[in-house]
Chain A
């Protein structure tokens, strides 16, 4: 994306005065965001960093005790099964985003040619509904739907296939996948939305030119559509990855991390340590670890995005 450097505007005589105004304008435009950032982000993060070197439990009644890197050493030693949680979470994110993107792409393409369909708006709204449900309510209700005693899913399976009730959420073999399924149900519409947007970002002129040139449809896909739409799609994948890593509200009503540890994800364990056991020092160290992980993930994505942007420009 080429852009003219905005400094070329406003170069009037009396540049000294203009320059100050420009700087002042820049600062005043950025000031609110910077203020927010510093108060709600920088300061808490520094505090977090500081606390991670202490042994501090809110309920022990004792003041924080400086212990240096001990928390981090314990993390390294897999205390509380942290690395298992991380790997479970990465698997969850990876599988989830892959399924959601593939399905989303499929549905996006499916809906792309339906401009003339009667009630398209309603159909699309229905499609997007899963995204808007409160995760707390979704989790609770899906627990009901999966329930072996009263749930509708087991009734359908029994009616159609004569199967015995499956305890989806308490059977260690099925719990993880059941939760993943709900996550995919909720967020595939988001990827569909992004696909539609990505397809819409393809300049119509080029598409028509390709048609006129009788380029076969699969070449049209790769040369024209993919070339233009991948930026938005990548952005969608990035956003989804970010949010998937944080899954918490959905899982707690469904399984609370169980059975055993099968659905225990990183956010849940952190929540438990920080706000149920009140091990503030330990949770801070955990959070610092997660911060590093998320910075690493974001960097990778931004690098890929910039690559594309630079290549385009």
Chain B
């Protein structure tokens, strides 16, 4: 009995150790956010030190910070919401009506996702430059949405495929329109897929740097841009700034992962499971 319990508990301890090992660099960054610059650069590195909040004070005193935060939030949320809506409609269509060229289109969507950032952004930059759409929230959001669509379509199609057609039939027979079927019957059943797609794409746009740097500008700066630009400050490498901003910036995605973990796990099954994982 005790041996079995010991086995179970050492198993748990192992899992916790693994988790902690993976998160330790992040913890190191978070720890550095509370150190003074000299403490961060101290050799050998300090684990025990007097924590200070001055880095955060300096951070929040920067006036561009609020605009960058606002931009990060607005760009991510809008882009992903638009992408999910568009993808859901398209996925429904692919799943139910299977128009000619479905497979071809799904394939193309995925292969676009495969191109490295500079390859994608080069012609888009020229296009945006030509039309004067650079440094424009609206067009940047649309571009981010485009980038989020492939993954969302794939996930949602998988889930919608898993929703039996009988539901559609029932809905239609009961006098509902297709709109009713789409939004009131099928949508609630693919919630895990929606949430998984939402979180993944949100994290992508949240952390996106290159596109914002090239086709964004002064008005659309976001936090990754601030991190890249602020790496060097007047007095050497700005470790306190980076540590601080990174720590704060990582909190929303982690919160999402914690809160919606169940959905995330189910969502990544791409529709083959609709219960618990």
Contacts and interface: CB of A to CB of B under 8 A. Distances in A.
Interface of A: 1, 3-7, 9-10, 22, 25-26, 29-30, 32-33, 36-37, 39-41, 43-45, 47-48, 51, 107, 110-111, 113-114, 117-119, 121-137, 140-142, 144-145, 149-152, 155, 158-159, 185, 188-189, 193-194, 196-201, 228, 231-232, 235-236, 239, 242, 245-246, 248-249, 253, 266-267, 270-271, 274-275, 280, 283-284, 286-287, 290-291, 294-295, 297-299, 302
Interface string B84-111: 0111011011011111000001011111
Interface stretch (B51-59, B61-69, B267-275): B267-275
Contacts of B105: 37
B120 to A, nearest CB: 8
Interface range for B: 35 or more
Contacts of A275: 118, 122, 214
Interface string B225-259: 00110010000010100110110011001100110
A286 B246 contact: no
B188 interface: no
Given A298-B107, A298-B110, A33 B43 contact: no
Contacts of B264: 193
A105 to B, nearest CB: 14
B209 interface: yes
Contacts of B151: 239
Contact of A132 (B113, B237, B242, B250): B250
Given A6-B165, A232-B269, A32 B86 contact: yes
A135 to B, nearest CB: 6
A235 B200 CA distance: 15
A142 B25 contact: yes
Given A44-B124, A152-B45, A193-B268, A287 B115 contact: yes
B265 A135 contact: no
Main secondary structure of the interface of A (DSSP, over half): helix
Q: Which 10 A-B residue pairings sit nearest by Cβ, starting from the closest?
A: A200-B277, A44-B123, A294-B114, A267-B116, A287-B119, A197-B268, A29-B93, A33-B90, A132-B253, A137-B246
A141 to B, nearest CB: 5
